[in-house]
């Protein structure tokens, strides 16, 4: 790509919180091992959302994403993935947390280096972030669909490093408890539904989710809304919910859930959440090869 070519990307910085203290308390070897594990977790999340870790600078990862939606989803997923990794004992020091700052804007390339507005503003934003916090710019929030920016909260205005004028900083909550505290501020289901519906088809058994039917439990147990008879399907395997105008799939299982999107993107969840868009097939516990009976066809569409 030419150095003069200008395009728009979302640049995201994720910085390990309290890294200086970690080095002082545990020493270089242990600190470095834990930070490398953290960066690996962040890299996996970025890759799952069409992103890349461009480079790492000590305890900080610089990532790029094709659009603001992917960056917003990645920021939340990174916090959640590190929380899960900490709970699973992947860090010898106990818990590892990050702070995240990102911006969607213009970039240029100097060789392989990304320069321009987006990395400059993203770096400015992360310097204002605190532990377990995601901050972004008003320009980034404006680039998000309504369902992803309902909870954005104004933090502060500062002088922008990349242009003459102010930079408005917004926080994007990611923890469930924060979402619940603001739920009363959201439009009603009828207002935010955007006429969307999700159709699930399992061997001819069909279930429809929309603003009037917002929740579906999936698993082997008879108490589920959709009973899936897969070899690796858990009794209470997963939940699909309609909230903020989009469909969320949450895996609660031992063996995980695989989603095969029609566009060719495949992901696997384990105690994680993913948005269901377009259409494809969900395998609750297995894969098309080892457990074809665990597959449920899904399709999102507008009414």
pLDDT tens sequence across 163-175: 999 999 999 988 6
- Domains in the chain: how many in total? 2
Reported as a single tens digit per residue, the pLDDT across 141-160 is 999 988 788 778 888 889 99
Residue 280 scores a pLDDT above 80: yes
Closest CA relative to residue 133, chosen from 89, 92, 169? 169
Residue with tokens 């006429």: 195
Do residues 290 and 158 share a domain?
A: no
pTM of this structure = 0.59
β pairing state of 113-115 and 273-276: unpaired
Do residues 149 and 227 share a domain?
A: no
Question: Is residue 2 a part of any domain in this protein?
Answer: no
CATH of the domain at 220: 2.60.200.20
Reported as a single tens digit per residue, the pLDDT across 243-270 is 877 899 999 887 889 999 988 888 988 8
Distance CA 143, CA 29 (A): 41
Q: 26-30, 185-189, 213-217: which range is least confident on average? A: 185-189
Cα angle 120-124-129, degrees, rounded to a multiple of 5: 145
When pLDDT is averaged across residues 224-248 and rounded to a whole number, the result is 91
Task: For the chain, report the end-to-end CA distance as a whole number of angstroms.
Answer: 41
Task: Give the range of the structural domain holding residue 65, as residue numbers without chain letter.
Answer: 7-181
Distance CA 262, CA 295 (A): 14
Do residues 114 and 63 share a domain?
A: yes
Percent of the chain with pLDDT over 70: 91
When pLDDT is averaged across residues 223-235 and rounded to a whole number, the result is 93
């Amino acid at each position: 790509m030419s150095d003069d070519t200008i395009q728009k990307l979302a640049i995201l910085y994720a910085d390990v919180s309290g890294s200086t203290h970690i080095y002082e308390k545990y020493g270089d070897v242990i600190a470095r091992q834990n930070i490398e594990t953290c960066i690996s977790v962040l890299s996996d999340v970025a890759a799952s959302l069409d992103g890349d870790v461009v480079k790492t600078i000590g305890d900080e990862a610089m990532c790029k994403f094709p659009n603001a939606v992917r960056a917003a989803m990645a920021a939340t997923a990174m916090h959640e993935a590190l929380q899960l990794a900490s709970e699973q004992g992947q860090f010898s020091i106990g818990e590892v947390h990050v702070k995240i700052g990102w911006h969607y804007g213009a970039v240029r390339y100097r060789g392989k280096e990304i320069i321009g507005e987006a990395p400059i503003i993203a770096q400015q934003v992360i310097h204002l972030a605190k532990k377990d916090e995601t901050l972004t710019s008003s320009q980034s929030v404006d680039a998000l669909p309504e369902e992803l920016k309902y909870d954005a909260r104004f933090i502060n205005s500062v002088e922008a490093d990349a242009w003459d004028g102010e930079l408005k900083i917004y926080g994007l909550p990611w923890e469930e408890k924060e979402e619940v505290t603001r739920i009363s501020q959201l439009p009603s289901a009828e207002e935010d539904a955007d006429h969307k519906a999700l159709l699930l088809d399992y061997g001819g058994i069909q279930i429809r989710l929309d603003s009037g039917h917002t929740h579906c439990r999936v698993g082997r147990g008879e108490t589920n809304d959709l009973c899936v008879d897969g070899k690796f399907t858990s009794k209470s395997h997963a939940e699909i919910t309609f909230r903020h105008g989009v469909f969320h799939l949450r895996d609660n299982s031992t063996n995980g859930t695989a989603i095969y999107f029609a566009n060719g993107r495949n992901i696997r969840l384990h105690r994680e959440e993913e948005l269901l868009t377009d259409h494809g097939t969900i395998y609750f516990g297995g894969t098309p090869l080892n457990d074809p009976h665990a597959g449920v066809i899904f399709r999102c569409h507008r009414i």
